[in-house]
């Protein structure tokens, strides 16, 4: 699993969900696949679409490379998804 949380950590903490997400570790992204299938999870920020596109730029080239030897899966999440599961 490759987790790209750069959009979360570059965004301003404008909501409780985002403040909570920003408290998680800001680890560097290592785009190395060691076994298949390859899972890439990107934490997308709906409040900063231009930043998302900029930070997404390395991935469209990387996914086809991986596809030559493993099955890549791309997941795009947002910190606001937590509110969908609250009752």
Domain-located, residue 20: no
Total number of domains constituting the chain: 1
Domain-located, residue 29: no
Domain-located, residue 87: yes
Whether the predicted model's global pTM rises above the 0.75 cut: no
Domain-located, residue 26: no
H or E element that contains 6: helix 6-10
Domain-located, residue 23: no
3-class SS at 77?
A: strand
Domain-located, residue 52: yes
- pLDDT higher at 15 or 65: 65
Instruction: Return phi, psi of residue 53, to 5°.
Output: -65, -45
How big, in percent rounded to 5, are the helix, strand and coil portions of the chain? 40, 15, 40
3-class SS at 25?
A: coil
pLDDT given for residue 80 in this prediction: 61
Q: Which residues sit opposite 3 in a β-bridge?
A: 41
In 54-82, which positions are buried (b, 16+ CB within 10 angstroms) versus exposed (e)? ebbeebeeeeeebeeeeebeeeeebbbee
pLDDT given for residue 70 in this prediction: 92
Domain-located, residue 27: no
Domain-located, residue 54: yes
In which domain, by residue range, is 52 found?
1-9+38-87
Q: Determine the average pLDDT of the residues in 41-64.
A: 83
């Amino acid at each position: 699993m490759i987790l790209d949380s750069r959009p979360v950590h570059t965004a301003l903490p404008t909501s409780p969900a985002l403040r909570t997400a920003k408290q998680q570790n800001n680890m560097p992204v290592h785009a190395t696949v060691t076994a298949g299938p390859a899972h890439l999870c990107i934490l997308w920020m709906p409040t900063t679409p231009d930043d998302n596109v900029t930070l997404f730029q390395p991935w469209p080239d990387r996914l086809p490379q991986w596809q030559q030897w493993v099955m890549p899966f791309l997941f795009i999440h947002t910190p606001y998804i937590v509110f969908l599961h609250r009752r």
